[in-house]
Amino acid sequence: MSARPPLTKELTVGLLIVSDTAAADHATDRAIDTLTAVIAEANAAIHGNTYEWLIEERRIIPDDKDKIQEKIKDWCDTKGLSLVVTTGGTGFAKRDVTPEAVSELLDKTASGLVHGMLAASLKITPFAIMSRPVAGVRGETVIITLPGSPKGAKENLESIIKLLPHACIQAAGGDSRVLHSGGIKKLEKEAGVIPLEGHDHHSHLYESGGLASDDAIGMSSGCGHHHHAPTPRTQQSGEAGGELRSNDLTGNVAQRHRSSPYPMISVKEAHKLIAQNIPAVGTSSAPEIIKRSVDAGLVGYILAEEVRARESVPAFRASIVDGYAVVHTDGVGIYPVVGVSHASPGEIKPLEAGQIARITTGAPLPPGATAVVMVEDTRISKTTEDGTEELEIEILASGLTELENVREVGSDMKTGDLLLGKGAEITAVGGEVGLLASVGIREVLVYRKPIVGVLSTGDEIVQHDRVEDLSIGEVRDSNRPTLLAAITARGYEAVDLGIAKDQPGTLEETLKASFSKVDVIITTGGVSMGEKDLLKPTIERTFAGTIHFGRVAMKPGKPTTFATIPFKNKISKPIFSLPGNPASATVTFHLFVLPALRQFSGFIGDDVYLPKALVTTDQDLVLDPRPEYHRAAVRIDRSSGNLVAKSTGGQRSSRIGSLEAANALLCLPGLGEVGDKRTRVPRGDKVEALIIGDLKVLDG
Ligand SMILES: Nc1nc2c(c(=O)[nH]1)N[C@H]1C(S)=C(S)[C@@H](COP(=O)(O)OP(=O)(O)OC[C@H]3O[C@@H](n4cnc5c(N)ncnc54)[C@H](O)[C@@H]3O)O[C@H]1N2
Ligand code: MOO
Ligand SMILES: [Mg+2]
């Protein structure tokens, strides 16, 4: 078994849908969405920062023992998932083989989990006795088998999910009592378990009825009802992971999917899939390294090398003030002015004790001088006859120390000092450019920034500056100018790919022509459920691309699609197909595309993502069923220093006006995600905001 990374708060999950029907036509599958929702709900119900479920794998496979075992082995042995959940194939029909396939793979059985699920099911339906679940542990992974009906699967999973973290952590070799802040008591509380005095945690779970003791248990079928009659395959099916889900371009409209075949994933999962499929520092597909000269054009790059000082700064002993260079031991008194040192190159006459030299800020100290006295601490004593030149000066300052008002050679920086580390960002503040310039570094190695192509799609879309009035049905292209502006302002080169008509050929030609010109492609429009929504089929069927996700649980931006299309020399081109609605396109650009561009240019870890702040809402905000990215203007309240958010008004996805003067996206939970079933975030509450623009100070 492969080494598993040390336990973190993330418990990774694989959902394996075993069904001949769903494997032949993914559009018929409901289980993935259903179980994803159960897991999202479980995450929302977790109190405190203890652990979190993260769905890493989702697959639909036929009722085939070998295929089931192959997937489970991969997920347990290679991927080291925390939990594998199967649905389907647990009934009495001939092709129901899931329990048999799973049993053979288990190192340990978990009869408690099986009893728990059955007990819960039987409370709801006597048909539960027709189900044959198995559960257990393989390596460090817990495996459970659920019935095939989405309702049954949901209720079964709900009955045990609160206790599964405990099982997963133990299976992975961790001590859940130590690992969880608040420990197992907390898990028990969340699961509704009443601990018995004097028993260890395992007996608590058992004797209290443990797994079945949650009030939330609801179970109806418990049976793995699903159709086994082989249905004609409506879609091509490639090797594992390569199944095509999009509509067939050659098919007629009556055959299109009537519900999206793409699972609805969370924003967090979407971020993870993007991060995994964009070149990243430290991976085999690391970003390209190029040489750039040190000038204004360096802003926004990430250094791909460590840079050390080639010279010392200052390169000579320099005065910090305007005044007189002296020998510090000379003390107060009247001294002849024997020379002048200006901040300009050239030889300077040496100074002896009993002499002084006029000097300006930044000028080199005459050899022999050891300190500088400010002009304010001196008095003129004797001038030339015409009164224009100083001959003698009285030094009033006493107790001078050696090198007072002097910058010693290399006191700001010495030759060989580390200037900037690998991974340092050259910011728009200018400090890093200045630092490099100060020691004569002319060129540095940096990670190349991506060139980004922007394509609008839609038969209705016309050039935004077209002079003629619009005909009925025509829409001015606002997405392309918006995105080109945002990309350029963020320091990336943008390529305008124009507008493609909703015709497979046009889209194909335009995209194909762009591959050699750009590193990342952004399209808008044509990704939802309409028969003219051609992006997904074109990516999958014309270009053999992989759609990593095609739906995200968010508003706006639900149909956001991210894919990679194979190009030359094993390079693949990432393509973000954003929804056509203007607010959706703009929000998803900031939320998904920008982090990808930053990762491509060498940013690492959380630095790729938008910065976050806690802000106070200045009005009630009504919650949407989907988690919402509510556009707002965040201001700094001058007196309190607090960040206050003002909504930009109507948040309909078509309203680009919702982004006017917006500098933040307020992260509002979806309805039902908040534990206390609130329907609104009340005025004065604090919410997380993603910062997309400059913060301003609140007027008045
Ligand atoms: N049956 C369903 N219909 C829709 C669903 C769904 O789940 N089921 N999702 C809705 C959601 S949410 C969104 S968002 C949109 C996304 O639509 P598409 O990405 O397919 O985009 P289009 O249909 O091409 O256009 C939508 C809308 O945006 C206007 N548009 C497109 N491009 C531009 C542009 N460059 N500049 C300005 N405006 C643009 C277009 O004219 C449409 O009005 O789908 C929902 N439907
Ligand atoms: O998700 Mo759509 O972006 O609501 O309009
Ligand atoms: Mg559409």
Regarding the beta carbon of 579 and ligand 2, being less than 6 Å apart is answered: yes
Question: DSSP for 334-373?
Answer: EEEEEEEE-SSSS------TT-EEEE-TTPBPPTT--EEE
Please tell me which of 11-20, 482-491, 677-686 the model is most confident about, judged by mean pLDDT: 482-491
The atom of ligand 1 lying closest to the CA of 260 is 7
What pLDDT is attached to residue 676?
A: 59
Between CA 679 and CA 672 the distance in angstroms is 8
Cβ-Cβ contacts under 8 Å for 71 (sequence gap 6 or more) = 14, 16, 59, 61, 240
554 CA → ligand 2 middle, Å: 8
Question: DSSP for 31-51?
Answer: HHHHHHHHHHHHHHH--SSS-
- Return the DSSP state at 75: I
- Which protein residue has the closest C-alpha to ligand 2 atom 5? 653
Residue 668 has pLDDT above 80, yes or no: yes
Between CA 163 and CA 186 the distance in angstroms is 11
Between CA 50 and CA 484 the distance in angstroms is 41
Average pLDDT, integer, range 646-655: 96
Tell me the pairing of strands 289-293 and 141-146.
unpaired
Q: Which two tokens stand for residue 261?
A: 């075949």
**Domain contains 1:** no
528 CA → ligand 1 middle, Å: 7
CATH assignment at residue 133: 3.40.980.10
Between CA 295 and CA 624 the distance in angstroms is 47
What pLDDT is attached to residue 571?
A: 86
Average pLDDT, integer, range 550-575: 94
**Domain contains 257:** no
Tell me the pairing of strands 356-359 and 333-341.
parallel
Q: Are residues 83 and 95 in the same domain?
A: yes
The atom of ligand 1 lying closest to the CA of 502 is 24
Q: Which of 562, 579, 608 is the last residue of a domain?
A: 608
Contact (Cβ atoms closer than 8 angstroms) between residue 412 and residue 298:
no
Q: Are residues 423 and 487 in the same domain?
A: no
**Domain contains 687:** yes
Regarding the beta carbon of 34 and ligand 2, being less than 6 Å apart is answered: no
Cβ-Cβ contacts under 8 Å for 167 (sequence gap 6 or more) = 110, 113, 137, 142
pLDDT digits (tens, 9 = 90+) for 378-434: 999 999 999 999 999 999 999 999 999 999 999 999 999 999 999 999 999 999 999
Q: Are residues 53 and 109 in the same domain?
A: yes
**Domain contains 421:** yes
Does 314 sit behind a cis peptide bond, omega within 30 degrees of 0 on the bond before it?
yes
What pLDDT is attached to residue 230?
A: 30
Q: Which two tokens stand for residue 382?
A: 């004797």
Regarding the beta carbon of 584 and ligand 2, being less than 6 Å apart is answered: yes
Mean pLDDT of the chain: 87
Q: Are residues 50 and 177 in the same domain?
A: yes
Q: Based on the number of CB atoms within 10 Å of its own CB, is 481 exposed (0-12), middle (13-18) or buried (19 or more)?
A: middle
**3-state SS class at 55:** strand
Regarding the beta carbon of 260 and ligand 2, being less than 6 Å apart is answered: no
Regarding the beta carbon of 653 and ligand 2, being less than 6 Å apart is answered: yes
ipTM: 0.98
pLDDT digits (tens, 9 = 90+) for 337-352: 999 999 888 888 999 9
**Domain contains 241:** no
Scanning 56-197, the segments in alpha helix (DSSP H) are 65-73, 98-103, 111-124, 150-160, 164-171, 176-179, 183-191
What pLDDT is attached to residue 188?
A: 45
What pLDDT is attached to residue 57?
A: 87
Residue 356 has pLDDT above 80, yes or no: yes
Ligand lying closest to the C-alpha of residue 584: 2
Contact (Cβ atoms closer than 8 angstroms) between residue 346 and residue 403:
no
Regarding the beta carbon of 658 and ligand 2, being less than 6 Å apart is answered: no
**Domain contains 423:** yes
pLDDT digits (tens, 9 = 90+) for 126-167: 888 888 999 999 999 999 999 998 888 998 999 999 889 889
Tell me which of 581, 626, 629, 654 to substitute to probe ligand 1's pocket, judged by most ligand atoms within 8 Å of the beta carbon.
Answer: 581
What pLDDT is attached to residue 33?
A: 84
Ligand lying closest to the C-alpha of residue 530: 3
In this structure, how many other beta carbons lie within 10 angstroms of the beta carbon of residue 405? Answer: 23
Between CA 116 and CA 28 the distance in angstroms is 29
* CA-to-CA separations, 581 to 291, 468, 476, 505, 558, in angstroms, rounded: 39, 23, 12, 23, 11
Beta bridge partners of 395: 333, 378
Regarding the beta carbon of 556 and ligand 2, being less than 6 Å apart is answered: yes
Average pLDDT, integer, range 25-42: 84
What pLDDT is attached to residue 231?
A: 28
Give the amino acid at 231.
Answer: T
pLDDT digits (tens, 9 = 90+) for 163-205: 898 898 889 887 665 444 444 444 444 444 333 333 333 322 2
Q: Residue 557 — left, alpha, or beta (φ > 0 → left; ψ -120 to 50 → alpha)?
A: left
Looking from the CA of 234 toward its CB, the CA atoms found within 13 Å total: 19
Q: Which two tokens stand for residue 543?
A: 């270009």
- Which protein residue has the closest C-alpha to ligand 1 atom 8? 529
In this prediction, residue 221 has a pLDDT band, given cuts at 50, 70 and 90, of very low
Tell me the backbone φ, ψ of residue 121, rounded to 5 degrees. Answer: -65, -45
In this structure, how many other beta carbons lie within 10 angstroms of the beta carbon of residue 218? Answer: 16
Residues with CB under 6 A from ligand 1: 456, 458, 460-461, 475, 477-480, 524-530, 533, 556, 558-559, 579-582, 584, 653-654
Considering its fold, how many domains does the chain have in total?
5
Regarding the beta carbon of 266 and ligand 2, being less than 6 Å apart is answered: no
User: Which pTM does this prediction carry?
Assistant: 0.71
Q: Are residues 621 and 547 in the same domain?
A: no
Q: Are residues 620 and 635 in the same domain?
A: yes
Q: Are residues 580 and 504 in the same domain?
A: yes
Does 133 sit behind a cis peptide bond, omega within 30 degrees of 0 on the bond before it?
no
Contact (Cβ atoms closer than 8 angstroms) between residue 162 and residue 191:
yes
Residue 124 has pLDDT above 80, yes or no: yes
Residue 573 has pLDDT above 50, yes or no: yes
Average pLDDT, integer, range 569-575: 90
Tell me which of 555, 626, 658 to substitute to probe ligand 2's pocket, judged by most ligand atoms within 8 Å of the beta carbon.
Answer: 555
What pLDDT is attached to residue 700?
A: 57
Q: Are residues 216 and 98 in the same domain?
A: yes
Best CA proximity match to 390, nearest among 321, 330, 318, 323: 323
Between CA 363 and CA 341 the distance in angstroms is 6
Between CA 545 and CA 572 the distance in angstroms is 9
Tell me which of 258, 499, 528 to substitute to probe ligand 1's pocket, judged by most ligand atoms within 8 Å of the beta carbon.
Answer: 528
CATH assignment at residue 363: 2.170.190.11
Residue 224 has pLDDT above 60, yes or no: no
**Domain contains 83:** yes
Between CA 26 and CA 245 the distance in angstroms is 6
Q: Which of 589, 608, 627 is the last residue of a domain?
A: 608
Q: Which has more pLDDT, 479 or 243?
A: 479
Helix, strand, coil percent content, the chain, rounded in steps of 5: 30, 25, 45
What pLDDT is attached to residue 677?
A: 73
CATH assignment at residue 679: 2.40.340.10
pLDDT digits (tens, 9 = 90+) for 528-544: 988 878 999 999 999 99
Q: Which two tokens stand for residue 102?
A: 């799973």
Q: Are residues 269 and 326 in the same domain?
A: no
556 CA → ligand 2 middle, Å: 4
Between CA 571 and CA 557 the distance in angstroms is 28
Structural domain containing residue 417: 289-312+413-447
Q: Are residues 639 and 491 in the same domain?
A: no
Q: What are the DSSP E strand ranges found in 483-618? A: 493-500, 520-524, 546-549, 561-566, 572-578, 612-617
Contact (Cβ atoms closer than 8 angstroms) between residue 611 and residue 631:
no
CATH assignment at residue 427: 3.90.105.10
Cβ-Cβ contacts under 8 Å for 297 (sequence gap 6 or more) = none
In this structure, how many other beta carbons lie within 10 angstroms of the beta carbon of residue 682? Answer: 10
Q: Are residues 502 and 586 in the same domain?
A: yes
C-alpha dihedral, 413 to 417 to 423 to 424, nearest 10°: 0
Between CA 131 and CA 145 the distance in angstroms is 10
Tell me the backbone φ, ψ of residue 626, rounded to 5 degrees. Answer: -95, 150
Q: Could you list which residues have their CB under 5 Å from ion ligand 3?
A: 528, 530, 533
pLDDT digits (tens, 9 = 90+) for 587-644: 999 999 999 999 999 999 999 999 999 999 999 999 998 999 999 999 999 988 999 9
Contact (Cβ atoms closer than 8 angstroms) between residue 554 and residue 628:
yes
Contact (Cβ atoms closer than 8 angstroms) between residue 138 and residue 105:
yes
* CA-to-CA separations, 473 to 201, 462, 481, 655, in angstroms, rounded: 66, 10, 20, 17
Beta bridge partners of 299: none
**3-state SS class at 398:** coil
Q: Which of 547, 579, 608 is the last residue of a domain?
A: 608
What pLDDT is attached to residue 47?
A: 66
Between CA 16 and CA 31 the distance in angstroms is 9
Q: Are residues 77 and 207 in the same domain?
A: yes
**Domain contains 239:** no
